Amino acid sequence: MASVLQNSPAKPVARASGYSLKYIFGVIVLLGVIGFVMFNSFQSNAVYYYTLSELYAQQNELIGRTLRVNASLDKASIVNDQKNLILKFNLIEGEHALPVVYRGVAPDTMSSGESVVAEGKLDGSGVFQADSILVKCPSKYEKSPEQY
Amino acid sequence: MALSQIAEIGNLTLVLGLVVSLYLIFAAIFSQRKQRPEFLVSVKHGVWVIAGLTTLAVFILEWALLTHQFRFEYVASHVSRDQPVLYTVSALWGGQEGSLLFWVWLLSLFSAAVLIQHFGQRNPLVPWVIAFMAFTQAFFFALLVFITGPFTLLAQTPADGIGLNPLLQDPGMFIHPVTQYLGYVGFTVPFAFALAALVTGDLGYEWIRVTRRWALFAWLFLSLGLLFGMRWAYVELGWGGYWGWDPVENAALIPWLTGTAYLHSIMIQEKRGMLKVWNLALIMLTFLLCILGTFITRSGVIQSVHAFGVSSMGPLFLAYIAAALVIFTYLMYRRLDQLQEENRLDSFWSREATFLLNNLILLGAAVATLWGTIFPMLSEIIAGKQITVAAPFFNQVNGPIFLALIVLMGVCTMIGWRHASPRHLLRNFIPPAAVALSAALALALLSVRDLYGLIAFTAAAFVLTTVLLEFYRGIRARMRMYRENILVAPAQLVNKNRRRYGGYITHLGVILAVIGIVGSTFFQTDIQKNIAPGETVSLGRYTLQFEKLKMTQEGNAQVIGADLSVFENGVLVDTLRPIKAYYAAADQMTTEVAVRTTALEDLYIILAGWNDDGSATLKVIINPLVVWLWIGFGVFVLGALIAMLPDPREAQAVERVRAEKALVGASSATAP
Amino acid sequence: MEIFVILALVLAVILIIGYPLVNPARYRDLIERGRTSARYNDLCDARENIFEALRDLQFEYATGKLSTADYQQLDARYQTQAADVLRQIDALQAQTQNARGRRDCPRCHAAASASDKFCAQCGAKI
C-alpha cells in the first residue's frame, strides 16, 4: 500500500503495466468525445477580433458574421434612449467611424468609458448591431468586471 | 517620523523579506545536504522573521490607508475621504500592489503554520517544504521590490484620493478576494509537500496525510471564493445572472476543478496504492493554475491585451510557472520507480473506476475552460489575430460534461470498492432510477417543456435519491449493528466517518446548487418596460406598480431609486426599491438591484434608467429556484467542514483498542 | 533617526537568524531523531489507514454493497497487512527503546517505563 509495506510478502504485487488495453481504449474514447465536443462548439463559437481598419478593409465579406470590434469611444456620439433601451454610439479609429446600436441596459461605466469592445454583427447598411458590449475605463483599476 | 521615512521602512521590510527568503532556500537545502541541523533552526527563525516583516509591511500600508496618507500613490488611487471604513480596509487587497503584498503575507503566515504543525515532530519533509515556500515568497517579494511596490510616494500630496472602484464597494467584494487568495495561496502548501516528498523519496503516507487537510482547506476557500464572487455578480453587476464565463471567473474555476479531481483520486491512492503519478500531477496542475489565476486576475492580460499592453509581470509569472513545472516534472521522472502502482483496477464496476472516470471528466472540463480562456492570448501570440469565445462555447462544452459528472456522482455512491456484484448494483440502482423517472414524468405533466432542463432535473433527482438512500442504509445498519435509536444513529453515522459522510453532505449541497442553476438558467423569464408613476408592469404572478422616483445622498454616492409596490396574484406583498448610485469622486454609476427571494423564485428588478418626465425604465427578471444555489453552497461548505475535522480522539482510541484486540490473533497467526 | 530604525531592523533580523549558527553542537541529534520519527509516523498512518479500510469494509458489507465472498477475501487481506504493519511498529519501538532506554506511548507519546504494559495516561497497550 505504501513504501512502508514495500517488503511485505503478503502484498499482492501488480505493476503499472497491468492496465489492460481495454481501459486505455476507454480513456481514449472518453478523451476523444470531450475533444470532439470542444472542437465542434469552438468552430461554431469562435469570434474574431477586428480593429476598425481591418473591418473596413474586408467589410463586404464580414457582413452578417459574428465578430468583435475594439476601438475608442466617441463620447459625444452617445445617444441613450432610456425609454426604449436603445443605446447608440460611434467607435472611432483614425478616420474611421463605426456606428453601433445596442439594445439593452446601458452599462454604468458608459459615460466614463474610453474604449469599447462590442460583439455582434455588421448589417447591410454599415451599422454594427451589438449583442454585448464591454466598456473599458481609463482608470487604474486592474479589475474592471465585464458587463453585459 | 516623516512620511518618507515610513515609506522607506516599508520598502526595507520588502527588501529584507527578499534577502531572507533567498537565504532560507539556501539554508534549508544546505541543512539537509550537509546534515547541519543548526541551519535548520536558523531556517525556523527565518520563517518567523519573514512572517514578522510581512505583517509589519501590511500594518504600515493599512495604517496609511486608514489615515488617508495620500502621498502614497497606492493610497491615493484606492481610497477617498468619503469612502466607508470597511472599503478603506479592503483597499489593501483591492489593487495590484496591495494584493501582491497580501499574497506574500498569507504565504508567510502559512509557512509559520506549517512549522508550528510539523517542526516539533521533526518531519524530514519540512525543510524542503520551507525551501520551496521561500522560493515562492522570493518571487513575490521580487515583484514587489523590482516591479510594482506599494510604498511608492508621489511628488506632492493630493487633497483627496480617487477611491476604490465603486463596483467593488460591496460586502461581497470585501470578503471575496480574501477567500479567493486563501484558496490560491493555500494550495502552495500541498504542492510544497509533494515536492518535498519527491526530493526526499519519502513517498509514503506522510505527505498525503499532511496534504489532504491542507488541500481540503485551500479547496474550501476556493469554493467560498467562487460563492462570494457569484453572489457579488448577482447583486452588484445587475444583469440577472451570477456567472458569465469571463476570464477572471474561469481563472478561479479551473483550479477548483483540478483540486476537486485531486481530492477524489487521492482516496484511491490511500486505499489502494494506485494513481500515484496521477495525483502528483494533479496537485502540481492545481497549484500552477492557482498561480496562473492570480496572474490573470491581477494583470487583466486576457480581457484586454490591446488596452493595457503586455504587463511587465507577465514574463516573470510565466518564468516562475515554467520553473516550478520543470523542477517538479524532473523530480517526478527521477522517482518513477518508487511510484509504481501497487494494485490494479479490478473491474469497470468498482468505485475506483468511477473515481477515475470522474477525474477524467473534471480534467476535461478544466482543459476546455482553460482552452477557451487563454485562446485569445494564444491566437494573438501565434497568429497575430485575437480569436475569442464567449459564454455559448463554455455552456455547450461544459453543460454535457457537468451533466455526466452529476450522473456519475450518483453511480459512484452506489458502487463499492474493488468490485461491485451486479446483483447488488442492480438492487441499488432501481429505487433512484424509479424516483428519477417519476420526477421526470411529474415535471413533464407540470408542462416543463425545456428538454435540457428536464434532463438535468431528472439527473438531479437520481443523485439526490442515491445520496439520501446512502444515509438511510447507513442509519439502518448502525441501528442494527450498534442498537442505536433513530435520533442517535444519524449523528453517530456522520460522526464516526466524517470523511465519507462529510463528502456525501458536500454532494448533497452540489445537487441543491445544481437545482438552482438549472432552474435559473433554463427557466428564466424577463420583461423590459418604460413606465410613468402609477403605471404597472406584470410578469408571471407578479404585478409591479411604480410609485415614484426618489433621490437621496447616501455616504459618498448620490442615489436614485424607484419605489415599487409588489403584488402577487393581486395581493400587496412587498415594496422594493431598485437604485442607481452615482459616485462623484470616481465619476461612476453603479446599479443596485432589488431582489425579492422566495423558495420558489427570485423576483429581480433592475432600474435601467429614468427620464425627466418622471418615468422609469425597469428590467424585471424572474429567476426560478435560484435561492437553492446559495442554500446548496451552504450545505456544501458544511459538508467540507465536517470532512476536514479530525476524527474524534476518544472514539478513535476506543475503536483502536477494539481493533487491536481483534488483530492479536491474526498477528500471531501470520508471524513467522 | 531614520537610519537608526533601519539599522535596528536589519540588525535584529541578522541576530535572530544567525543565533542558532553560533552554537551548532546543541542541535546535533535533530536530524537522526527526525528520520526515526518520520518512519514511525508513516507506520502509524499506515496502521490508521488499514484500520479505516477494515471499518469501511465492514460497513460496506453491512449496507449490502459487497458479496460475502469478496468481503471475506478483502477482510483477510487487510488483516494480514495490518499484522505486518504492527510487527514493523513493534520492531521500530524495540529499536528506539534499546537506543534510549525508555519508551513512549504509541498513541499519546507520554513517557512510560520499560516494564509498563499499558500507558498510564491513556490506557493504550504499549
Considering Cα of B582, then B586, then B590, then B592, what sign does the dihedral take?
A: negative
Closest residue by Cα to residue B507 from B452, B469, B454: B469
Residue numbers in B near C30 (CB within 8 A): 37, 40-41, 122
Chain B residues within an 8 Å CB radius of C27: 37-38, 40-41
Cross-chain CB nearest to B588 (options A1, A68, A112)? A112
Q: CB A1 to CB C49 under 8 A?
A: yes
Contacts of B657 in chain C (CB under 8 A): 123-125
Same domain, B639 and B503: yes
Is C10–B16 a contact, with Cβ atoms under 8 angstroms apart? yes
DSSP string, B400-416: HHHHHHHHHHHHHHHSP
Residues of chain C with Cβ-Cβ distance to B124 below 8 Å are 31, 34-35, 38
The answer to whether residue B513 is domain-embedded is yes
Domain ranges within chain A, ordered by starting residue: 16-46, 48-136
So what's the pLDDT on residue B350? 78
At residue B537, the pLDDT reads: 92
Within a domain: residue B564? yes
Task: Indicate whether B405 belongs to any domain.
Answer: no
- Please state, in angstroms and rounded to a whole number, the distance separating the CA atoms of residues B352 and C16: 50
Percentage of chain A exceeding pLDDT 90 = 7
Domain carrying residue B608:
525-624
Q: Shortest Cα distance from B268 to chain C (angstroms)? A: 11
pLDDT band of residue C116 (cuts 50, 70, 90) is low
pLDDT of residue B592: 86
Residues of B in contact with C16 (CB under 8 A): 45-46, 48-49
CB contact under 8 A, B653 and C26: no
| The three three-digit cell numbers of residue B278, written as one number | 496521477
d(CA C13, CA C5): 12
CB contact under 8 A, B589 and A109: yes
| B554 and B532 fall within a common domain | yes
- Same domain assignment for residues B448 and B537: no
Chain B CA closest to residue A32:
B364
Residues B497 and B473 in one domain: yes
Cβ of A13 under 8 Å from any chain C Cβ? Answer: no
- Taking the Cβ of residue A143 and every Cβ of chain B, the question of whether any pair is shorter than 8 Å is answered with yes
A136 in reach of chain B (CB within 8 A): yes
Domain identity same for B497 and B640: yes
Find chain C residues with C-beta within 8 A of A3's C-beta.
42
Q: Whole-angstrom Cα distance, residue B245 to residue B638?
A: 26
H or E element in which residue B542 lies? strand B542-554
Q: What is the pLDDT of residue A14?
A: 41
Distance CA B539, CA B415 (A): 46
Report the amino acid identity of residue B108: S
C105 versus A128: the higher-pLDDT residue is A128
Measure the N-to-C terminal CA separation of chain A; round to a whole number of Å: 53
- How many angstroms away from the CA of A126 is the closest CA of chain B? 22
Contacts of B271 in chain C (CB under 8 A): 49, 53
Question: Using a CB-CB distance cutoff of 8 angstroms, which residues of chain B are in contact with residue C60?
Answer: 416-417
Most C CBs within 10 Å, among B414, B494, B667, B668, to test the C interface = B667
Gap between the Cα atoms of B379 and B388, Å rounded: 9
Rounded to an integer, the average pLDDT of C62-72 is 77
Q: Which residues in B lie closer than 8 A to residue C53 (C-beta atoms)?
A: 271
Class of A48-136 in CATH? mainly beta
How far off is chain A from B567, nearest CA to CA, in Å?
23
Long-range own/partner contacts, residues C11-16 (CB < 8 A, 24 or more apart): C13/B16, C13/B20, C13/B49, C13/B53, C16/B45, C16/B46, C16/B48, C16/B49
Task: Give the residue on A whose Cα is nearest the Cα of C38.
Answer: A4
* Three-state secondary structure readout of B412-477: HHHCCCCCCCHHHHHHHHHHHHHHHHHHHHHHHHCCCCCHHHHHHHHHHHHHHHHHHHHHHHHHHH
Mean pLDDT of all residues belonging to chain C:
75
Residue B253 covered by a domain: no
* Chain C interface test: which of B36, B42, B269, B412 (most C C-beta within 10 Å): B42
Residues B559 and B438 in one domain: no
Tell me how many domains chain B contains.
Answer: 2
Residue C60: predicted pLDDT: 76
Chain C CB within 8 Å of residue A2 CB: yes
B161 lies in some domain: no
Q: Does A43 touch chain B (CB under 8 A)?
A: no
Q: Distance from A14 to chain B by nearest Cα, in Å?
A: 5
Q: Which residues pair with A134 in a beta bridge?
A: A117
Q: Do C33 and B500 touch (CB under 8 A)?
A: no
Query: Exposure of A141 by Cβ count < 10 A (0-12 exposed, 13-18 middle, 19+ buried)?
Result: buried
Q: What is the pLDDT of residue A142?
A: 39
Contact A10 C81 (CB under 8 A): yes
Residue B440 lies in a domain: yes
Which residues 69-108 in chain A show a CB within 8 A of chain B? 70, 80, 82-85, 105-106, 108
Show which of residues 106-135 on chain A sit within 8 Å of chain B, judged by CB atoms.
106, 108-109, 111-112, 115, 119, 132, 134
Query: Cβ of C13 and B49 within 8 Å?
Result: yes
Please tell me which residue of chain C has the smallest CA distance to B43: C17
pLDDT score at B669: 35
Inter-chain touch C42–A5, beta carbons under 8 Å: no
Residues B502 and B446 in one domain: yes
**B600, B472: one domain:** no
Whether the CB of B80 is below 8 Å from some CB of chain C: the reply is: no
Determine whether the interchain pair C51/B38 forms a contact, defined as Cβ–Cβ distance below 8 Å: no
Which residue of A80, A119, A136 is in closest CB contact with B304? A136
Interface B-C: count of C-beta contacts within 8 A: 169
Q: Which residue of B has its CA nearest to C23?
A: B38
Q: Residue written as cell 522573521? A: B49
Indicate the DSSP class of residue B91: G
Q: Are A37 and B338 within 8 A, CB to CB?
A: no
Provide the pLDDT for residue A75: 84
Contact between chains at C43 and A3 (C-beta distance less than 8 A):
no
Residues of A within 8 A of B670 (CB-CB) are 10
Listed as ranges, residues in chain B with pLDDT below 70 are 1, 119-122, 299-312, 346-348, 416-421, 586, 647-672
Taking each helix axis from N to C end, the angle separating B188-200 and B171-186, rounded to the nearest 10 degrees, works out to 0
Asked if A82 lies within 8 A of B609 by C-beta distance, the reply is yes
Residue B598 resides in a domain: yes
Q: Would the pLDDT of A12 be above 80? A: no
Instruction: Classify the phi-psi angles of B604: left when phi > 0, otherwise alpha if psi is within -120 to 50, otherwise beta.
Output: beta
Per CB-CB distance under 8 Å, the chain B contacts of A47 are 387-390
With beta carbons less than 8 A apart as the criterion, state whether B443 and B391 touch: no
When pLDDT is averaged across residues A14-36 and rounded to a whole number, the result is 71
| Start-to-end Cα distance in chain B | 77
Query: What phi and psi, each to the nearest 5 degrees, are found at residue A30?
Result: -60, -50
Cβ contacts from A onto C, under 8 A = 27
- Using DSSP, state whether B617 is helix, strand or coil: strand
Q: Chain A residue closest to C41 (CA)? A: A4
The pLDDT confidence band at residue C114, using thresholds 50, 70 and 90, is low
pLDDT at B300: 58
Given an 8 Å threshold on Cβ–Cβ distance, is B9 in contact with C34? no
Q: Cβ B344–A141 below 8 Å, yes or no? A: no
Identity of the residue in A15, A111, A112 whose CB atom sits nearest the CB atom of B341: A15
- B270 contacts C33? CB cut-off 8 A: no
pLDDT attached to residue B125: 85
What's the one-letter identity of residue B131? A
Chain A residues with beta carbon closer than 8 angstroms to that of B389: 42, 45-47
